[in-house]
Structure 1
């Protein structure tokens, strides 16, 4: 596929996906959804990829859905937004959550609506100091989709999640860090340097163990303690036979840097 709305590269184990409609604050169209889906499929299939870095071009990360792409006027027939969620946004979130490698999001500006919740679907979120998060759905008579109603209360608690969802106020990146919504807020000029440094770290890390950690954290929300302990035992049993565990122990004993293969 030839990409017109995103930029995508794979170099030294790092896949970088940049939303690239800066004139529209990287808001989603159907074409962008299809291109992002294709890029993520390439990430899944390319065994050299050890980490995914997601960011946006220009002055914003993502303003959510491009309303011009499904414009509807008062009195005109409605559009099936449920189909849009089922066909595009839900699969996007589930793919990011299930990728067997770390997903870093570098939020370089406003992240609004589905753009905010797209960022929250990633494993680690870094945000520039000038960035902000806006659950803008309430201003259109909608609900926080793209996993927002699931992620928000789990990240910041029910009271703050409800306020963000019902008021649609702008949440500055610094406060987002204080509330535990994101991992870290950094100076604007340092954002991509820090994101790339983290990506390089993950590109040489024990990827399978990190993938299992992602899955265990995700499944914990629906598990009893007993089931979660069983899951941990199952995962540790499998990881104990991995190359990376043996290499990690050998490197620790020899006091050298490990050379993980991600297996």
Structure 2
């Protein structure tokens, strides 16, 4: 039986649990889900709980309203800029680090104008499905700042250095079709189908063998930083873990049954 649970709608983050799937939905639609310290703190706590739960296989990040996330909260920037590094950036950094290193698959589901920290968070996801209304903007230079939440790490890895420089320094906006062509997103769907297609993709990911999927995520991410011989050793170790798991026996027997 499907189990669903949600926190109060007034919270800056909504959560919904559906078996092995956890939805984390940013919930400040009036401000296009701009991050403030309160949202960052709740997000970090929710991510810590999700990562610690062995029954969760997939985490979906999304946003209420017409935008996934329009960046940081300008009101907090103006009122208390000194609070930003420790009360906003640090908890978000902790959450992003946990999401990147955990064995759960993180699926971003995005729409509308996405700028600054919203773009950073979207690029940090393992997979990204986007509505045709999506457009990405680096936007940090418009505020006289240099970027946060990992965007200077992810952007050149996904676009190459020259294009990343252009996007960051010249303020290029990347529209949905171009984002798909550049492999910034995995799938592009009509806006009114985004929720249904996200659920379909998330459930498909939930059905993958959990250990194998987690190992694939870890190997692909670490492979960007390792030499070949180190990666070969890591693959061998992960493969050994997988063949000792019941999922392997079940899959092999299922394959043999189909072939016969």
Per the TM superposition, whether the score is higher than 0.5 is yes
| Correspondence for 1:46 | 53
| Correspondence for 2:33 | 26
Distance, in Å, in 1 between the alignment partners of 2:252 and 2:246 is 10
| Correspondence for 2:77 | 70
Residues 44/78 of structure 1: CA separation in 2 closer, same or farther (3 Å cut): closer
1:17 is the counterpart of 2:24:
yes
CA apart distance, 1:70: 3.1
1:123 is the counterpart of 2:130:
no
Which aligned runs of 4 or more in structure 1 are off by greater than 4 angstroms?
Answer: none
1:237 is the counterpart of 2:240:
yes
CA apart distance, 1:156: 1.1
Contact 1:25 1:58 in 2 (8 A): yes
| Correspondence for 2:105 | 102
* Pairs aligned (count): 252
| Correspondence for 2:212 | 209
Contact 1:85 1:145 in 2 (8 A): no
Which residues in structure 2 correspond to 1:140-219 (within 5 Å)?
140-219=143-222
RMSD of aligned alpha carbons:
1.9
Q: Secondary structure at the match of 1:38?
A: helix
1:17-52 CA-to-partner distances (Å, cap 9, x unmatched) read 110000000011111111111211221232221111
Q: Secondary structure at the match of 2:174?
A: strand
How high is the TM-score relative to the length of structure 2?
0.91
Gaps of 5+ in 1: 257-263
Distance, in Å, in 1 between the alignment partners of 2:85 and 2:35 is 16
